[in-house]
């Protein structure tokens, strides 16, 4: 059995494509600065990925079937890139059974379920070279107002512009955090999280809206005004260049760690 055979049977092209693009980009970057051990590399790869995709997997407004498909896709794509997380694998194996119980996927999926479970349980082969990186692309537009969730805490961001050839958005965070996605009424007149463009980021991998991971949600579109007080000043950069995985750590720097 091959990874693509499993992924094709999930009938979830959007989620699979997003996961695969994100893992390829993130694994490529992490392998550019090799950690001491493969176990450490596994931790560095899986931690941020799980933080991002748990916005979907732990939410109340996604269908159980969608969550089960994503659990299987997540375990499969991690396995494809040479990684395995015991909890993710166990949850994916349970998801296979639940998908069959609820008759969600095809007869072919049901017939090969035991093969799929054995395949995902087997130790993957670590990559010997960095994976190729997909072209950076975004469907966000200037004037979009976003809610970005990390571990149950919501943050508001404004898209100031999109870089050449629709490669990546430049966003700026509003000050404050929220217990649910904020409204425009709550953001009216609100300042930037930090002055002098220190809350502005060019984010590679912030691609889709709606976001398949459920982490990024639209609050408004074509909004004229962003957060106040964050304009660049002489001697400061215009924004920090980052990616959708590292952005989660930068958000902790801006707003403090999330209480768990």
pLDDT at 8 over 70: yes
Specify whether 102 is located in the same domain as 46.
yes
Residue 228: count other Cβ atoms within 10 Å of its Cβ: 13
Specify whether 93 is located in the same domain as 159.
no
Specify whether 68 is located in the same domain as 104.
yes
Could you tell me if residue 90 is inside a domain? yes
Position 157 confidence tier, pLDDT thresholds 50, 70, 90 = very high
Residue 89: count other Cβ atoms within 10 Å of its Cβ: 20
Enclosing domain of residue 251: 145-255
Specify whether 104 is located in the same domain as 186.
no
Specify whether 152 is located in the same domain as 109.
no
Could you tell me if residue 131 is inside a domain? no
| Last residue of one domain, picked from the residues 53, 86, 121 | 121
Specify whether 7 is located in the same domain as 115.
yes
In the chain, the number of structural domains is 2
Q: How far apart are alpha carbons 5 and 95 in whole angstroms?
A: 17
Calculate the average pLDDT of the chain: 96
The whole-number pLDDT of residue 35 equals 81
Q: What is the pLDDT of residues 161-197, one digit of tens each?
A: 999 999 999 999 999 999 999 999 999 999 999 999 9
Specify whether 250 is located in the same domain as 161.
yes
Could you tell me if residue 260 is inside a domain? no
Specify whether 180 is located in the same domain as 248.
yes
pLDDT at 260 over 70: no
DSSP per-residue string spanning 183-234: PHHHHTTPBBSSSTTTTEEEEET---SS-TTS-EEEEESS-S---BS----T
Specify whether 19 is located in the same domain as 116.
yes
The whole-number pLDDT of residue 187 equals 98
Specify whether 168 is located in the same domain as 98.
no
Specify whether 113 is located in the same domain as 149.
no
Could you tell me if residue 84 is inside a domain? yes
Span 218-245, mean pLDDT? 95
Position 259 confidence tier, pLDDT thresholds 50, 70, 90 = low
Q: How far apart are alpha carbons 222 and 168 in whole angstroms?
A: 17
Q: How far apart are alpha carbons 149 and 216 in whole angstroms?
A: 7
Q: Which residues pair with 217 in a beta bridge?
A: 147
Specify whether 189 is located in the same domain as 103.
no
Span 129-139, mean pLDDT? 95
The whole-number pLDDT of residue 69 equals 98
Could you tell me if residue 137 is inside a domain? no
φ/ψ of residue 127, rounded to 5: -65, 145
The whole-number pLDDT of residue 34 equals 83
């Amino acid at each position: 059995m091959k990874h693509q055979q499993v992924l094709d049977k999930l009938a979830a092209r959007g989620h699979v494509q997003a996961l695969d693009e994100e893992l390829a980009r993130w694994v490529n970057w992490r392998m550019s600065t090799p950690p001491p051990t493969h176990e450490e590399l596994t931790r560095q790869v899986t931690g941020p990925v799980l933080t991002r995709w748990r916005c979907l997997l732990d939410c109340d407004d996604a269908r159980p079937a969608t969550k089960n498909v994503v659990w299987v896709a997540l375990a499969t794509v991690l396995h494809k890139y040479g990684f395995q997380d015991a909890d993710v694998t166990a949850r994916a194996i349970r998801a296979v059974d639940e998908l069959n119980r609820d008759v969600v996927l095809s007869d072919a999926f049901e017939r090969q379920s035991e093969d799929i479970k054995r395949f995902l349980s087997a130790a993957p082969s670590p990559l010997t070279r960095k994976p190729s990186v997909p072209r950076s692309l975004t469907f966000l537009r200037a004037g979009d107002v976003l809610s970005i969730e990390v571990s149950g805490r919501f943050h508001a961001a404004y898209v100031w512009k999109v870089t050449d050839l629709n490669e990546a958005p430049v966003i700026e965070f509003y000050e404050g955090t929220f217990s649910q996605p904020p409204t425009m009424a709550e953001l009216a007149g609100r300042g930037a999280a930090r002055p002098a463009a220190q809350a502005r980021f060019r984010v590679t991998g912030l691609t889709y809206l709606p976001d398949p991971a459920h982490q990024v949600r639209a609050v408004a579109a074509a909004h004229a005004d962003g957060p106040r007080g964050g304009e660049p000043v002489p001697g400061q950069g215009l924004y920090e260049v980052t990616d959708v995985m590292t952005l989660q750590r930068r958000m902790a720097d801006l707003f403090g760690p999330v209480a768990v």
